[in-house]
Amino acid sequence: MVAQPKLKATSASPGIATGPVYVAQPMPAVASPASSLSGHAALGDAIDKAIRELRDLAAGTDPESREIIEFQIEVLQDPTLMEMVGALIDAGENIEFAWVETLDDYIRELECAEEERLQARAVDILDVKNRVLSILAGAPIDDFPAGSIYVGKDMEPSRFLAHDWSAGGGIALYAGSAVGHVALLARSRSVPMVIGAGQFATEKGQHIGIDGESGIITLQITERREQLAPPDHRPVGMVSIADNGTLCTADGSPVLLAINVNAPNEIDAVDAATTAGIGLMRSEFALTSLGDAANEEKQFEIYRRLLDWADGRSTTIRMLDIGGDKPLAGLAEAPSLRGIRLLLARPEIARVQARALLRAAVFGNLHIMLPMVMFPSDVDDIRQIYREESGELARRAVPHRIPPIGMMVEVPAAALMLDEFESADFFSFGTNDLAQYLVASPREDADFARYQVKAVPAVLRLLTQAIKLAGSKPVSICGDMAGDPSLTANLLAAGIRYFSVAPAQLPAIRSAIVGLRADGTKAAGE
């Protein structure tokens, strides 16, 4: 038997996958912000398309529906509407938000009208707003065949999320990072992934294999071998223990175990009764374009779905952590603006999300978490937005509730000062970013994985201090360290009693916790 050519790469997500190669084209440069002129044209095109869609709809319908559609078309052709949206675009606003802001103002006006017949029109305008919004957001992501092995220099999170991984497949990157966002997503979905393979040649249709444990890439796999190789990359040993994520250490201290969620469909494979709920939902992975960020209804549906699944269990949704190494398609900002800084610099984005969260809060045990908080004033400023939006919803008689608002602790400046964050209701440690900022290395840097390992003692010391500063406020951990069973003892010793991990890590962390005492020492007899 001829030895198959093998390449040594680095593991980024465990599991074995084989399949035909899909070689990605180099990523296009980040689009420059649309000029106001092209903004007008893009909006005009979207509106024309919406009108065509509505005309098609009107064709096969009853006179009453036709009248509603005629009304919607007339709104789309309203010259003052276009003037208002155009003025916002000229003032530098993104098309999506210019559209949403203008239409929302009008919807609010209608909702508050005394006449019932005018109020009833609000939903028609909402419909118009969402139709155009979905057209504006509709740039389809270049997908690749199901079951194939994605090969390229790097991979965008939106591309990962848009792909159907149920047929198997995997990822092999020439460069990439084990702690980058795609690696994080791959681990949470149990998609095998290797990185740092260096540029290697493949032909279209060629079958390759990747081993996410050893990091080995096997080139030129024969079809026969492929059939023998198990395509199964689902997590093994996923025993369902319906303890609602409430466990005890060996010496009887209660510990909560929840899951991290990225795209909302990740919860489909998880039984809620095996968890204490959702400790972290990264909303930026569910809302991958500016159009999504502007779309209150879409967000509301996503949040509601998570709350329905959790069925009363705590559900923590993090506001959009965008900017920096997590750009949002269509939004060009200074690289230093990320997380809460960006949300406060672009309050229209925060306000849409705030409304969707306030409305969803009625349907379950919702907690809101703020990303990349640095100073107590960040929390105060966001709270003010929630108060204002809550007042506005109350005025419109829309059911809503202000849930507890907590914060990620992932910037050293915040971790060192937790006793000053009076207006945060709870804290959750994001150890990936904390490590990144402690060692002053961007996480996409190839050396970061090495630095991160060496930074563990510093991160643990900072955590231990910060937990003391947190006083009586609830504290949890949702970073990668939470899902690493070799660190569970250290985290327990630091005082962590609430872990949130990728669903695939549930069994490993569960068994680690029950085998340890609350101080992190091993239980007798182990």
Partner 1 sequence: MNGGLRVESREGEQMHASCQTEVEVKHGVGLHARPSVTFTRLAKSFPCSIEVAINGSDLWLNGKSIIKIMGARIRKGSLLRIRAEGILAEEAVRALKGLVERNFDEEKKHGRSA
Q: Could you list the residues that contact partner 1 (CB under 8 A)?
A: 63, 67-68, 70-71, 74-75, 77-81, 106, 109, 113, 115, 117-118, 121, 124
3-state helix, strand, coil in the chain (%, to 5): 45, 15, 40
CB of 125 vs partner 1, minimal distance in Å: 9
Nearer to partner 1, 105 or 420 (CB): 105
Place of tokens 């990320």: 338
- By beta-carbon proximity to partner 1, the closer residue of 82 and 469 is 82
**Does residue 189 contact residue 266 with C-beta atoms inside 8 Å?**
yes
Which of 108, 517 has the CB closer to partner 1? 108
Start-end of H helices in 332-416: 340-345, 347-360, 376-395, 412-415
User: Given the complex with partner 1, which of 102 and 432 has the nearer CB atom?
Assistant: 102
Say if residues 8 and 210 touch (Cβ distance below 8 Å).
Answer: no
Give the nearest distance from C-beta 131 to partner 1 in angstroms.
16
80/472 with CB nearer partner 1 = 80
Using a 10 angstrom Cβ sphere, with 0-12 exposed, 13-18 middle and 19 or more buried, the burial of residue 437 is middle
Dihedral sign computed on CA atoms, order 354, 355, 357, 362: positive
Specify the residue, 121 or 338, whose C-beta has the smaller distance to partner 1: 121
CB of 80 to partner 1, least distance (A): 4
Q: How far is the CB of 396 from partner 1 (least distance, A)?
A: 16
Handedness of CA 166, 167, 170, 171 (dihedral sign): negative
Nearest to partner 1 of 118, 139 (CB atom): 118
To partner 1, the closest distance from the beta carbon of 104 in angstroms equals 13
The nearer residue to partner 1, 28 or 79, going by C-beta atoms, is: 79
- Tell me how far apart the alpha carbons of residues 174 and 232 are, in angstroms, rounded to a whole number: 24
Q: How far is the CB of 70 from partner 1 (least distance, A)?
A: 6
In the complex, minimum distance from the CB of residue 235 to partner 1, in angstroms, rounded to a whole number: 53
The size of the chain, in residues, is 526
Q: For 414, phi and psi rounded to 5 degrees?
A: -80, -45
Residue 330 Cβ, how far from partner 1 at the closest point, in Å? 26
Q: What are the residue ranges of helices labelled H in 179-335?
A: 181-189, 223-228, 290-294, 296-310
Closest CA relative to residue 269, chosen from 230, 235, 219, 226: 235
Q: Which residues contact 278 (CB under 8 A, 6 or more apart)?
A: 258, 259, 260, 261, 267, 306, 310, 313, 314, 315, 316, 317, 500
